[in-house]
Structure formats: structure tokens, C-alpha cells
């Protein structure tokens, strides 16, 4: 039954009759909202689907994204932070250009970030996948720039109380050499303050200290919260409130199932 449900969701996505129409055979710098990629053998134009997930730092975007990808495998997770670091490591054209800004502590320009997303979007479409966007856009200006190339069909907004996030993140300690992460609330070390495997002392990153977390949350409110209003006005946003991902996600899944079923029926 689970396999049939997954196949049905995949069919729902492939039968979409609105929004974007993918046009194969072009280049990355294409007009309007048309994707373009080199066609596969016997491939014809098809519709695509993009899903954006919004949420505060430490608000559970990563956990919810993993659950979505498990239940909706036709989506490809495009985490711009991960993708950007990979491009820098691989010294691609995008990576080299981005590194010139990162080396001096500057922000990567919106135009380059859009190019990064579109580069990975084309790759996903070639593989018959749809997009789960995570980490971009971060501002309304970035959203408008992205809309010139790629629209957002659905937007999930995770609303977790600040006090929960501060408690969750400030409870996190790491082993610097390996990157192993511990949390005293749900994944404590066997011996307090020491790494399970090496016995080395654990440390708390400056970014994980309560005062730093509050600053990050304030920056999010100023820069990213306008996106909630932006996508709400477009009629594609749904907000999910709670303090635990395991409680929030069933509601997210129910909403996505309903939306994909609606698309299949149109």
C-alpha cells in the first residue's frame, strides 16, 4: 500500500496542468520561468513542482525535510548551504565566484545564489525529480529574483517558539575533532562533558550559546519573516506550529497529501 501511495503521488506530480512548463534543450540563462536542460532519450516537456520550507534557525527544517524526502522520494532536497559548500570544494565556476565573497566575510550576491539554485534545479529535472528548497530564498528580494526563473508551488512555514529553540540549541555540545554532536535533553554523552569514543572534552560553539541564538533569531525575524507574508499573499503558504518535529510532521504530511491529491484531480 505504501508503494502504491508513493506511485500515486508521483503520478499526481507528473499530471500537473498548471504553473511551469519545462522546456528542454536550452541553457541555464533562460527567460521567464522556463526550466531548460539537455533532454534524455525520448524525453518530452513535462511539468515540475517546487516546495519551499521556511523556519527559524534550529526550528527543525532539517528534520522535517528528511521526513518529507522519505515519504515523497520524488523530491530532491536542494539545501543551498550544502550545495554552495560542495561547489566551493569542487572548485566549480559557481564555487570559485562564491569563494571570492566568502573569503572576505561577505554575503554571496542574490544573482549568484539564484544561479546556484537553478543549476541544481536543472539537474533535478533531468533526473525526473521535483524540488524541495531549503535555505534560499532568505529575503523577499531573493524571492522576487528567484521568481524570475522558478516559482514556488507550496511553502511550508515552521513556527516554533523562540524559547524552545534557545533551549534546544544551547543544549547542544560537540566534539571538535570529529564533529559529533550531543544534546543533554535527547542524546547525552555517556560521561558528562566527554566524547563517547575518545573521552575528549566537549565544547559549545559560540553560535550555540543562548545570547548568540537570540541574535540569530532576531536577524531571522528582520530578514526572513517578510517571506511569510510574501508567500502568504501568493496563496501557497501553510504555517505549522509546535515544539516537536514528530508532532508537527504528521500535519505537514497530511497537508502535502491533500495538495498533491488536488493536483491529481485537476
Domain residue spans in the chain? 2-160+236-265
In this prediction, residue 47 carries a pLDDT of 61
pLDDT value, residue 258: 92
**What are the binding residues for GTP?**
58-63, 172, 181-182, 245
**Residue 108: what pLDDT?**
86
The Cα 26–Cα 35 span in angstroms is 8
Residue in 56, 61, 76, 149 annotated catalytic: 61
- CATH class in words for 2-160+236-265: alpha beta
User: For residues 113 and 145, what is the distance between their CA atoms, to the nearest angstrom?
Assistant: 10
- Pairwise CA distance, residues 15 & 187, whole Å: 43
Q: For residue 244, give Cα distances in angstroms to 25, 108, 159, 182.
A: 44, 32, 11, 18
Asked if 15 and 263 count as a contact pair (C-beta separation under 8 A), the reply is yes
| Residue 172 annotated as catalytic | yes
State how beta strands 180-183 and 172-175 pair.
Answer: antiparallel
Alpha-carbon distance 216 to 200, whole Å? Answer: 29
How much is the pTM? Answer: 0.72
The active-site residue out of 127, 144, 205, 215 is 205
Kind and range of the H or E run holding 184: none
216 is catalytic: yes
Catalytic entry in 76, 115, 168, 172: 172
pLDDT of residue 148: 84
Query: Block means of pLDDT (10 residues each) for the chain, length 266 residues?
Result: 46 39 35 32 54 91 93 88 87 91 83 85 79 89 86 93 91 90 88 95 90 90 90 96 94 93 64
126 is catalytic: no
Q: Give CA separation, 252 vs 71, 154, 156, 213, 239, in Å.
A: 11, 11, 8, 26, 9
Q: What is the predicted pLDDT for the residue at 174?
A: 92
Instruction: For residue 205, indicate whether it is catalytic.
Output: yes
Residues 6+ positions from 230 with CB-CB distance below 8 Å:
140, 143
pLDDT of residue 149: 81
Query: In whole angstroms, what is the distance from residue 45 CA to residue 17 CA?
Result: 12
- Rg of the chain in Å (alpha carbons): 20
pLDDT of residue 128: 75
Q: Are strands 50-55 and 237-241 parallel, antiparallel or unpaired?
A: unpaired
Q: How many CB atoms lie within 10 A of CB 137?
A: 25
Residue 239: the pLDDT is 97
Catalytic residue among 216, 234, 253, 259: 216
Nearest to 154 by CA among 58, 256, 63, 73: 256
- Choose among 59, 24, 29, 17: nearest CA to 165: 59
Amino acid at each position: 500500500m505504501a508503494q502504491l501511495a508513493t506511485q500515486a503521488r508521483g503520478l499526481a506530480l507528473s499530471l500537473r496542468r498548471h504553473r511551469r512548463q519545462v522546456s528542454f534543450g536550452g541553457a541555464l540563462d533562460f527567460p521567464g520561468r522556463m526550466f531548460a536542460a539537455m533532454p534524455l532519450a525520448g524525453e518530452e516537456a513535462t511539468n515540475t513542482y517546487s516546495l519551499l520550507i521556511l523556519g527559524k534557525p534550529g526550528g527543525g527544517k532539517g528534520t522535517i525535510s528528511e521526513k518529507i524526502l522519505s515519504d515523497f522520494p520524488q523530491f530532491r532536497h536542494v539545501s543551498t548551504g550544502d550545495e554552495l559548500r560542495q561547489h566551493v570544494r569542487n572548485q566549480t565556476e559557481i564555487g570559485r565566484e562564491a569563494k571570492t565573497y566568502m573569503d572576505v566575510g561577505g554575503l554571496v550576491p542574490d544573482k549568484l545564489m539564484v544561479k546556484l539554485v537553478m543549476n541544481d534545479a536543472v539537474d533535478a529535472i533531468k533526473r525526473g525529480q521535483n524540488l524541495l528548497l531549503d535555505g534560499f530564498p532568505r529575503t523577499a528580494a531573493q524571492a522576487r529574483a528567484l521568481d524570475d526563473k522558478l516559482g514556488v508551488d507550496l511553502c511550508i512555514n515552521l513556527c516554533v517558539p523562540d524559547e524552545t529553540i534557545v533551549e534546544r540549541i544551547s543544549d547542544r555540545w560537540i566534539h571538535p575533532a570529529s564533529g559529533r554532536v550531543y544534546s543533554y535533553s535527547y542524546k547525552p554523552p555517556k560521561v558528562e562533558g566527554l566524547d563517547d569514543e575518545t573521552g575528549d572534552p566537549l565544547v559549545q560553539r559560540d553560535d550555540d550559546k543562548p545570547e548568540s541564538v537570540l541574535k540569530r533569531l532576531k536577524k531571522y525575524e528582520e530578514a526572513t519573516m517578510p517571506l511569510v507574508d510574501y508567500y502568504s499573499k501568493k496563496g501557497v503558504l501553510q504555517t505549522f506550529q509546535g515544539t516537536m518535529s514528530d508532532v508537527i510532521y504528521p500535519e505537514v504530511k497530511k497537508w502535502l497529501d491533500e495538495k498533491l491529491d488536488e493536483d491529481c484531480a485537476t
